[in-house]
Each structure stands twice: as structure tokens, then as C-alpha cells.
Amino acid sequence: MKYKDAGVDIDAGDETVRRIKALARGTFTPGVMSDIGSFGGLFRLDQTRFRHPVLVSSADGVGTKLKVAFMAGRHDTVGADLVNHCVNDILVQGAEPLFFLDYLATGRLSPEVAEAVVRGIATACRENGCALLGGETAEMPGFYAAGEYDLAGFIVGAVEYDGVIDGRTIAAGDVLIGLASNGLHTNGYSLARRIVFDTLGLSVESHVEEIGTTVGEALLRSHRSYLAAVRPLVERRWLRGMAHITGGGIPGNLTRILPAGTGARVDCHSWTPPAIFQFLQRAGNVSGDEMFRAFNMGIGLVLVCAPDRVGDVQAALGASGERPMVIGDIVPGDRTVTLV
């Protein structure tokens, strides 16, 4: 017998590597010291940029949003979702990305699909100034359903020791500024799929007048990266804390940065959730509290700054094309988030 008889196609693996090498090389930054295919990725930290660097790392996946990609037969957006999610996760601590690694696992390897996924990863890496340093493509027969795969990403960034943003200086009276999301990003898809496909019986090609597009287009919008907009604020030391609004929504993520003795008050009427959230809430008969736990509700990143910095922060964000929204404030409390 041959390995291929057991379901593992080494030739397909070699072809996949051949296809993605050029994509990865197109993201290489001056710090990269190794090529795709080496046992480990080598990266040299530029010590002229960081005097006392702190490395910041994160790992994440795309979740069941992948199911929508399978249904739509579209694989070029989930890679960008993965990178941008990870970039935001380290950005909130003040870090800029250095390099990224991906893990793609499937039952039967399709070089074409793998290339589309990695193309999305590479594009997002270039846009974020991050090198795609390496990764792993695993073919595991019998482990995944036909035509399906799983995707995970790992990022490493750096921030100056005295520039780490961890929320410890947040105090009562500070202001919460929200930045808009681009849809569901990468969270809440199990509930969204239950509503759209199981309850309503729609397909990815179904056009929904209320949201102005097809179901597939709405659900596959890429997770935003906030790096370009927020980096100038980080460099100027204008922020006391940031929260990336992912699983758990605003309440579940904002509480992660609150120091002892503080709480947050969020005015839910200070912005209008995009149509996709209103559609899901109505169609699924979902309570408001549950919506705010499952989805970002139109706010992808929350910034915390001192009251006397609000004008500066809003002006800088406005210059970058953002539409910052004051959505609440910090109050005395026990690290709880109150929606009003």
C-alpha cells in the first residue's frame, strides 16, 4: 500500500507549498531570516526600533464562520479574518505585529483551496506590515468532513516596556470611544447560522432586502484591522486601555481591562447597530442582552482615554477616516459593565 491509499497525498502537499511560497515571501520584512519550508521561522528583532522590547503573542481561529465559507465556496476572506483578529488582540496592549504563523488542517488537501486561504492571510499580513513567517498544512483523512478545514493563527508583536497598555491607569471619569465594526467579524456565527439557515431556511445566495445584500456577502465580510487608525494614538500615549470586542461582546471584553475599583457604563443608545444585527435579532427573536453577549453590535474596538484627551483622540481618528463614537464612561465599581 501507499500513503495516498490511506488518504494522504504527499504530492498535493508539495504542490500546496509551491503555491504558497511566493505568497509568503511577498510579506517578508527585513527581520525575516529564514525561508518557507525551514523547520522553524527565524526573525531578528530590530533593536534600533525597540530599546526595551516586550514581546506580545496571541493565537486564535475563525470559528464557525468557516461553515459559511464552505457553503459559499469562497475561501479568500477567512485568512484576512484570522490575521486581523490576531493583530487587534495584540494592538490593544500597544503592540505592533512582527510575524504571523498559520495552521490549516483538512481531511483531503486541495492545493487550490489552500492557496486561496493563504492568499487572504498574506494580503492581510502585508496590509498590517507583518511577515508570514511560516505555518503548517495538515492532511488528516477521516478527521474532517469532505470539503471542510480548520484554520488557526499565531502572532508575535512587540511594544516598548514603558508603552504597554494594560488598563492599570484607567480611572473613574475616563471616556469610552467606540470604533465601528464591519459586521459580525468572527464571533456569534453559531447563533447567526442557526437563525439564517436553520430557522429562516435561507441560503448564502439569498438576497435580504433588510441588509441590502446576500446572506453570504453579509456574513463573510472580513474582520477589520484597527492598527492603522489606532497606532498614532498608541505612539502619542493618549490611551489608557483598549478592548477588542470579540466573543462575549462589549460586556465580556471591556471587563477584561478594568482595574479594581472601577466599572464601565455603556450607553447602548449612543449608536445604531448595523442592519445585520437588527435583522438577526428580529428574525431570531433574540433578547437585547443576548445580542450584546453574542455579537459586537457594531462596535469592534473600544478605547479608553482621559476626558481631556477626547477631542485629540477624535480628531486623530477622524483624520484617518474613522467615525469615533463616545459610547460611555468609567465609573466607580467592581469591574462590571453596565448597559444603559
48: domain CATH number is 3.30.1330.10
Residue 182 sits in the same domain as residue 159: no
What is the per-residue pLDDT for 336? 95
- Please indicate, yes or no, whether residues 58 and 105 belong to a single structural domain of this protein: yes
For residue 168, the model assigns a pLDDT of: 95
| φ, ψ (nearest 5 deg) of residue 299 | -115, 110
Contact yes or no for 85/223 (Cβ under 8 A): yes
170 belongs to a structural domain:
no
Residue 84 is part of which domain span?
3-163
Tell me: do 188 and 320 sit in the same domain: yes
Whether residue 181 sits in one domain with residue 142: no
Residue 13 has what pLDDT?
79
The more confidently predicted of residues 68 and 15 is 68
Model confidence, pTM: 0.94
Q: Does residue 5 register a pLDDT over 80?
A: no
pLDDT of residue 12: 81
Q: What's the rounded Cα separation, in Å, for the pair 232 and 318?
A: 12
d(CA 172, CA 333): 9
Phi, psi of 11 (to 5 degrees): -65, -40
Given 163, 184, 201, which residue is the final one in a domain?
163
What pLDDT, on the 0 to 100 scale, is given for residue 83?
98
Residues 134 and 199 in one domain: no
Q: Tens of pLDDT along 167-209?
A: 999 999 999 999 999 999 999 999 999 999 999 999 999 999 9
**Residues 159, 179: one domain?**
no
User: Residue 203: inside a domain, yes or no?
Assistant: yes
- pLDDT, tens digit, for every residue of 238-259? 999 999 999 999 999 999 999 9
pLDDT band at residue 91 using 50, 70 and 90 as cut-offs: very high
Q: What CATH number is attached to the domain comprising 328? A: 3.90.650.10
- Mark whether 116 and 210 lie in a shared domain: no
Which residue type, as a one-letter code, is found at position 104? L
Q: Is the pLDDT of residue 38 over 90?
A: no
Kindly state whether residue 278 falls inside one of the protein's structural domains: yes
Q: How many structural domains compose the chain?
A: 2
List strand residue ranges (DSSP E) for the chain, in order.
Answer: 53-61, 96-106, 131-139, 149-160, 175-180, 207-208, 213-214, 241-244, 262-266, 299-305, 325-332, 337-339
* Residues 153, 8 share a domain: yes
pLDDT bucket at 18, cuts 50 / 70 / 90: confident
Mean pLDDT of 52-57: 96
In a domain? residue 279: yes
Of the candidates 22, 20, 23, 46, the residue with the CA atom closest to the CA atom of residue 33: 46
Q: Which amino acid, 45?
A: L
Which residue type does 39 have?
A: F
Same structural domain, 126 and 39? yes
Query: What pLDDT is stored for residue 176 in this prediction?
Result: 98
- The pLDDT of residue 15 is 86
Residue 220: count other Cβ atoms within 10 Å of its Cβ.
21
pLDDT, the chain, mean: 94
Q: Exposed, middle or buried by CB within 10 Å (0-12, 13-18, 19+), for 210?
A: exposed
Query: pLDDT above 90 covers what percent of the chain?
Result: 90
A 10 A CB-CB count for 276 gives: 23
Query: Which of the residue ranges 33-37, 164-168, 229-233, 313-317 would you say has the lowest mean pLDDT?
Result: 33-37
74-85 burial, b at 16+ Cβ within 10 Å, e below that, comes to bbbbbbbbbbbb
Contact status, residue 222 vs residue 77, Cβ threshold 8 Å: yes
Q: Which candidate, 93, 233, 248, 109, places its Cα nearest to that of 155?
A: 93
Calpha distance 230→321 (Å, rounded): 11
Beta carbons within 10 angstroms of residue 277's beta carbon: 24
Instruction: From 109, 131, 163, give the residue that closes a domain.
Output: 163
pLDDT of residue 47: 86
Is the domain of 187 the same as that of 334? yes
Cα 298 to Cα 292: distance, rounded to the nearest angstrom? 10
Answer whether residue 168 is part of any domain: no
> Of 131, 163, 195, at which residue does a domain stop?
163
Q: Are strands 175-180 and 53-61 parallel, antiparallel or unpaired?
A: unpaired
Q: Per DSSP, what are the bridge partners of residue 137?
A: 104
Cα–Cα distance list, 84 to 64, 75, 79, 91, 310 (Å): 17, 16, 9, 10, 26
DSSP annotation string for 34-98: S-TTSSS--B---TTT-SSEEEEEEEEE-TTHHHHHHHHT--SSHHHHHHHHHHHHHHTTT-EEE
Residues 157 and 234 reside in one and the same domain? no
Mark whether 147 and 85 lie in a shared domain. yes
Give the integer Cα–Cα distance in Å for 81 and 187.
11
Domain-located, residue 275: yes
Q: How far apart are CA 143 and CA 148, in angstroms?
A: 10
Residue 157 cell numbers, joined: 508583536
Q: Is residue 302 part of a domain?
A: yes
What span, in angstroms and rounded, lies between the C-alpha atoms of 23 and 39? 18
pLDDT over threshold 80, residue 4: no
